[in-house]
Structure 1
Amino acid sequence: MAVESGTRHDERVTGRVWTIRLDPDGRPSAGAVKLSCSRPACADQRFATAAEARRAAVGHVNAHLAHVRAGGGPRGGAWCACRAADCGWHAPGSSAGRRGAGPQPGAVRCGGPVVLSVYADRAGRLWRIAEMCARCAAATPDCRVLDTAAPAARTAPDARAAGGPAGGTAAVFSDRGPCPDADAGTDADAVGASSVGAPAAVPRARGRAAAPGAGPRPDRRRGGKIAQRIVPHDLEPDVLRLELVELGDAFRAYQQCPEPDLALLATLHDRKARAFRLWADVCGDPSLRQEADRAEKAAETTREMHEHRVGPVGGPAVERLLSRGQAAHVRDLLGHIASHAPSPEPGVHLAVLMLTLRAARCGSGNITGQDLTGWLQDDAEGVLRQLADADWLRMPSTSEEVMASRPENPTAFTVPSLLPVRPHPFTLGKNNRSRISGWAQKVVGDRKLRKKKAGPATRLLALYTAAHTRPDGRLRHAGRDGLGIEEAAAFCAVPPEDVRVHADLLVGAGWLAEADVREGRVCGQLAERVLPLGGLL
């Protein structure tokens, strides 16, 4: 498709372009939208809302595409419409659709077959259908190729372009018949005789002869498509072209899988990142390098999602309740509770933790007497009164009335230190707060812990062990195996020598599979039944 000097490109028509736009109709605050098409035969349309206009625009685009397909699809003999716009649709530093920008240094040269492409800007205000070359389509962001034209038939160049004699003698293809005899001359009758008759097919290009007994040579120059980009059939090195073609086929095959396989998808993204980075080095196209960066981030995110679901490769297959990021929020929250509780008592620490989770975002929440008795059993009312007396908690009613409240009529409470007017200690979103609060409720309300009548200190240690585990369930804190006794005792509000006692209670309740205190650390592993509650380190 690259234009060479001396060729007569004026014999070929420029590729067709349809541009559909959505613009405000009248005052922008009114919300009315006007739909316009670059084709003179298409009248402007007006709509009351942007949603109606977008639906109409998509239908208008589909109508033009159906008309193009009914007319035979893209024309193989058309010149690239992007080239006619000085390649401003994909020139670096220019916006799609800008004309007259001129090709920039290092811009993609036109080449490849003519394709029918559709461009849609991300704002949903512009659609463009165009006949353009494959390379420009691949270099244009948000451009999708719908069809590829058959290659146009080559015509014989004139005598001057072919370097023939200046006597007006036309070039004669060897498949038109036997070559004229050298003594026959080049008179008009001979030329006319060689020009008439039914045209024959142009013979194939000569290639190297195959070895005797060898089968047909495979087509090693096959092109392909990946990430809405055309892989040129003449891309070098050949191993890069084959890798891009195979990757495109692999991604399309993955989309047809009935069940997602995140490990496989992460591997495909890794291969795509390497291949696109090499493709960018070969072609000098910065958009390819940006695509490689996106693929690398997608691989990392997909692998993290896979580990959140089933743990790392080679580890136990466990459906985790918390993601890795949510588990990090939990550890920050536990450290905050240990240092900001109004008094060092296990019941106070547990109540502060659970109430903080309910008021973490806006400083207020709802509570019922059933919630409090589920956390603290018989000490609930005394702990609630203690928090109110310390002004850590504010309620519109007395502690007795709060204990009598039911789920259908909960009591509102406020934590002054968590109000938005103060520097906020947490950055929890709505979903993360809800998920972490549900996780803490599952740990504190564990069936076997309730059956063993575990006290607040034992339940706090269960929370602390669940938040500081590796994917395989081993306890770990501060980069070392096991939990520091001093840190665990400060969170549970018990003396360090009592941590062993509560760890043994967790083993008896089936929360820990094993536990041992040595060298100032609590070492052990979560039981298999509670692995879903473990926070990934």
Structure 2
Amino acid sequence: MRDELIELGDLFRAYQQRTEPDLALLADLHERKARAFTTWADVSGIMSLRLEARRAEQAATAARFQHQQRTGGIADSDGPAVSRLLTAPTQGDHARSVLAYVADHSPLPGPEARLLVLMLTLRTAHTGTGNLVGQDLTALGLTDPEDLVEKLTGCGWLTLPGTAGDLLASRPENPTPITVPSLVPHEDKAGPFTFGKKMRPKLSGWAQKIVSDKKLRKAKATAGTRLLALTLATQTDASGRLGPGGQGIALNTLAAWVPVDSGELRHLVDQLTAADWLTDAAVTDDQLTGQLTERVLPLTCPLRA
């Protein structure tokens, strides 16, 4: 074990000396680090080592995702788009449970804060900790991500080792560790979510792909539009129809998850329709009907989970 850790240290130092990043290699290094720290934690029983292993797993996922973005392996490619649909009923249930939790516990008002809090909650849901890079924030369509992060740290909802500017400048080869204190588990209190540690990165990765979907980027969608897109994606059946039985979703239901007034909500729906992200959409009698355009990949597709 000692030899493995020494070798890993040497490999990470060598990586830092590279003139060009190799995110696939970096993801492999983080995965190897996660395995080593998990083994060390199993032998020693030290909880901090297990948390470090989880951070390494999250860093590997982030690096792998960034690698695919840069190489065109996901939504930037000409092939099928990222799945808008969750492929199992329990996945949808878990995604909606996070939406409901954030609706009740978001520390700041407005759709931009709601989207950022939602994405950070998904990233840290199991341990209260996770890793983040600047592009994770700039992909959300936020008006001023640095100011919003400062407000979240200022109210104590989020803690960082440095400044909001440092977080925005961080890259996949050196992600920023983040902590959401309210989600850190306590021995005498169960966490707010019931899904397991393997489900969390699947939900988080799927949500990140939804909000950074190629069509939304092309349309320069706002954070509110992206939040609505993600919300609708959790409310679809296997055929892509919205709402229970494909009958649509009441606007007042959506307003609980997307904190804008009804007029703005209709405008966001129009933006999704104009971007060809939502098809056959209409708002009548306070009911949203329509379906998501379907170019579906499984949630569990390798390197896309």
Fold match by TM threshold 0.5: yes
Please name the residue that 1:456 is paired with: 223
Asked whether 1:488 is paired with 2:254, we answer: yes
Asked whether 1:506 is paired with 2:272, we answer: yes
Distance 1:491 1:333 in 2: 10
The Cα offsets for residues 144-163 of structure 1, whole Å up to 9 and x where unpaired, read as xxxxxxxxxxxxxxxxxxxx
Alignment of 1:1-400 (within 5 A): 322-400=87-165
Distance 1:320 1:507 in 2: 17
Does the CA-based 8 Å contact 1:381-1:400 persist in structure 2?
A: yes
Distance 2:143 2:185 in 1: 33
Query: Percent identity between the aligned chains?
Result: 47
Distance 1:354 1:380 in 2: 13
* Counterpart residue identity of residue 251, structure 2: I
Structure 1's unaligned 5+ residue stretches are 1-317
Distance 1:393 1:320 in 2: 30
Deviation (angstroms), 1:348: 0.6
Distance 1:319 1:364 in 2: 27
Distance 1:515 1:465 in 2: 12
Does the CA-based 8 Å contact 1:347-1:379 persist in structure 2?
A: no
Please name the residue that 1:424 is paired with: 191
Deviation (angstroms), 1:321: 5.0
Structure 1 residues 486 and 344, CA gap change in structure 2 (3 angstroms): farther
Structure 1 residues 378 and 530, CA gap change in structure 2 (3 angstroms): farther
Distance 1:365 1:463 in 2: 21
Structure 1 residues 424 and 347, CA gap change in structure 2 (3 angstroms): same
Matched position secondary structure for 1:424: coil
Distance 2:291 2:258 in 1: 19
Write 1 or 2 for the structure with the bigger share of strand. Answer: 1
Does the CA-based 8 Å contact 1:319-1:532 persist in structure 2?
A: no
Does the CA-based 8 Å contact 1:473-1:531 persist in structure 2?
A: no
* Counterpart residue identity of residue 491, structure 1: W
Does the CA-based 8 Å contact 1:511-1:530 persist in structure 2?
A: no
Give the number of the structure with larger relative contact order, counting CA–CA contacts within 8 Å between residues 6 or more apart: 2
Aligned pair partner of 1:466 in 233, 240, 248: 233
Structure 1 residues 436 and 353, CA gap change in structure 2 (3 angstroms): same
Does the CA-based 8 Å contact 2:125-2:193 persist in structure 1?
A: yes
Matched position secondary structure for 1:429: coil
The Cα offsets for residues 202-261 of structure 1, whole Å up to 9 and x where unpaired, read as xxxxxxxxxxxxxxxxxxxxxxxxxxxxxxxxxxxxxxxxxxxxxxxxxxxxxxxxxxxx
Does the CA-based 8 Å contact 2:95-2:203 persist in structure 1?
A: yes
Asked whether 1:445 is paired with 2:236, we answer: no
Asked whether 1:412 is paired with 2:192, we answer: no
* Counterpart residue identity of residue 263, structure 2: E
Structure 2's unaligned 5+ residue stretches are 1-82, 300-305
Q: Which consecutive aligned stretches of 4+ in structure 1 deviate over 2 angstroms post-superposition?
A: 318-322, 528-533
Distance 2:142 2:95 in 1: 24
Distance 1:319 1:391 in 2: 33
Deviation (angstroms), 1:379: 1.8
Distance 2:129 2:277 in 1: 32
Distance 2:138 2:286 in 1: 34
Q: Structure 1 length normalisation: TM-score?
A: 0.38
Matched position secondary structure for 2:295: helix
Structure 1 residues 319 and 369, CA gap change in structure 2 (3 angstroms): closer
Please name the residue that 2:291 is paired with: 525
Distance 2:172 2:157 in 1: 23
Matched position secondary structure for 1:325: helix
Structure 1 residues 407 and 387, CA gap change in structure 2 (3 angstroms): same
Does the CA-based 8 Å contact 2:142-2:223 persist in structure 1?
A: no
Deviation (angstroms), 1:376: 3.4
* Counterpart residue identity of residue 285, structure 2: E
Deviation (angstroms), 1:393: 0.5
Structure 1 residues 486 and 531, CA gap change in structure 2 (3 angstroms): farther
Distance 1:531 1:471 in 2: 12
Distance 1:525 1:480 in 2: 8
The Cα offsets for residues 74-127 of structure 1, whole Å up to 9 and x where unpaired, read as xxxxxxxxxxxxxxxxxxxxxxxxxxxxxxxxxxxxxxxxxxxxxxxxxxxxxx
Which of 1 and 2 has greater Rg?
1
Distance 2:154 2:241 in 1: 40
Deviation (angstroms), 1:322: 3.1
Distance 1:390 1:486 in 2: 29
